[in-house]
Homo-oligomer: A and B are copies of this chain.
Amino acid sequence: MDTAWLSADEEQAWRAFRRLLIALPARIGRDLARDSGLSAADYEVLSTLSEKPDRRWPLRELAAKMEWSRSRLSHHAARMQVRGLIDKEPDPQDARGCLLRLTDDGFGVLERAAPHHVVSVRSRFLEHVSADELAMLRELSTRIADLPD
């Protein structure tokens, strides 16, 4: 096989998949903004913070967990703090660091957003994928995302 080019099959599959890579996040992101006034990034920060019992997470760890740069999270957290969704506390373990905390307002926004978001993910994606396809997609996604950068 000539690896310098794509076969017709590969080309068409890659095109179709690339279209999905762009369209699906865009649609779900628009739903989120319309229903809840949140960006996909906002939602990810809120929902990840809510996973901790005390709704607090060191910025550095949260960035690592979400695979964001610290810079990105620092900028984004500053904007979310202005909106009252989260706030910052000094990290008692490390005076360089800070803890991001989900505010009660932020938690309320997340709780109201979640059901709409689930509907969106279902109607735009899950409903159109069989159980077998979903299992395959999960395995394939993990396999490829786990490749070294």
Please give, as numbers and ranges, the residues of chain B lying within 8 Å of A131 by CB-CB distance.
Answer: 9
Q: A17-B137, A140-B137 are in contact. Are A6 and B147 (CB under 8 A)?
A: no
Chain B nearest Cβ from A59, distance in angstroms: 19
A126 and B14 form a contact (CB under 8 A): yes
Q: How many residues of A contact B (CB 8 A)?
A: 45
Complex: A143 Cα to B118 Cα, angstroms: 20
Kindly report how many copies of this chain are found in the complex they form together.
Answer: 2
A133 contacts the other chain (CB 8 A): yes
Please give, as numbers and ranges, the residues of chain B lying within 8 Å of A144 by CB-CB distance.
Answer: 20, 23-24, 124-125, 128-129
Complex: A6 Cα to B120 Cα, angstroms: 11
B118 and A5 form a contact (CB under 8 A): yes
Complex: A141 Cα to B23 Cα, angstroms: 10
Contacts from A to B (Cβ < 8 Å): 3-6, 9-10, 12-14, 16-17, 19-25, 27, 67, 115, 118-119, 121-122, 124-126, 128-129, 131, 133-138, 140-145, 147, 149
